[in-house]
Amino acid sequence: MYMRIDLHVHSNVSDGTETPTRVVFAAHEAGLDVIGLCDHDTFDGITEAREAGRRIGLSVLPGVEMSARYKGYPVHLLGYGCDPWNRPLFTELASLRAARVERLQAFIDKLAELGVPVTAEEVAESKGLSPVLGRPHIADAMVAKGYVANRDEAFEKYLGEGCPAYVERYSTPLKDAIALIRGAKGLAVLAHPWGRGSREVLTGDALEKLAKAGLEGIEVDHTDHDAHSRELLTELGARTGLIRTGSSDYHGTGKTKNPLGINTTRPTAYQEIVNRIAARGGVGPS
């Protein structure tokens, strides 16, 4: 039987808008058989999602989306099947979450200068129970105060890279992030490698070098990639031996153009991921 597999979704444990349980149920309603829960810099939603998945018969592959940097550009790295208690990875993820908190005041200061003030308390209310504080929560506070209509507008006008209120923060060097995921028995896949300006540095030569450093996959089918980019990335992936995946990058109502299942991963690619994780003693799907 053909499986529908979406290997990159988010819950409100990071910057999604739905609980892990609700994400699982929504995935089931969307006709998916497998999801990869990849919240930003945390594994905190995995247990809840797997329990929900077992109740309704949907498999959950545990994942994380690490904030990384390569040649000065921010990139995101998906780690599948990691041991969440691996000390080096656990420590680095805690540092990444702390970096998000530390830049909050800088965002608040810049927004005040631009005439759209929000307070730390208002942002905290927006993030709910999430242990990961990020720009989407600042955007939610801006929406609540009527400055913008939605998160997309907040990012386009104020919070996105190159926008007036943007603030840099610490991210893990990409090769170090790959090594941390591999050290935790996981499998590393570059998320939306040609989205958000990173195409300039994630060239074919760069992907070959990263594959030698332990990268095992690239997310090809993603809403940030047009048809031509997907074709080229598929060819690059085949040439460098990288597994090609596809996903929605679902955030609930936080991203209106990313519904569950809009892009999916081939069952053969998914099985290869699961087999490699099992071979190194990582955490497989529920």
- What distance in Å separates the CA atoms of residue 42 and residue 120, rounded to the nearest whole number? 22
Question: In this predicted structure, what is the pLDDT of residue 265?
Answer: 98
Question: In this predicted structure, what is the pLDDT of residue 125?
Answer: 84
R_g of the chain, CA atoms, integer Å? 18
Domain 5-95+170-279 bears CATH identifier 3.10.20.90: no
Label the pairing between strands 187-191 and 73-80: antiparallel
The DSSP code for 156 is I
**E-strand spans in 131-250?**
172-173, 187-191, 217-221, 243-246
Contacts of 230 (CB under 8 A, 6+ apart): 220, 221
Angular region, 207: left φ>0, alpha ψ -120 to 50, beta rest: alpha
- Phi/psi at 166 (5° precision): -70, 140
| 13-49 pLDDT per residue, tens | 998 999 999 999 999 999 999 999 999 999 999 999 9
**Residue 8's closest CA among 231, 224, 197?**
224
| 205-226 pLDDT per residue, tens | 999 999 999 999 999 999 999 9
| 93-120 pLDDT per residue, tens | 999 999 888 888 899 999 999 999 999 8
Domain segments of the chain: what residues? 5-95+170-279, 104-159
| 51-98 pLDDT per residue, tens | 999 999 999 999 999 999 999 899 999 999 999 999 999 999 999 999
| 236-284 pLDDT per residue, tens | 999 999 999 999 999 998 788 899 999 999 999 999 999 999 999 999 9
Q: The whole model's pTM is what?
A: 0.89
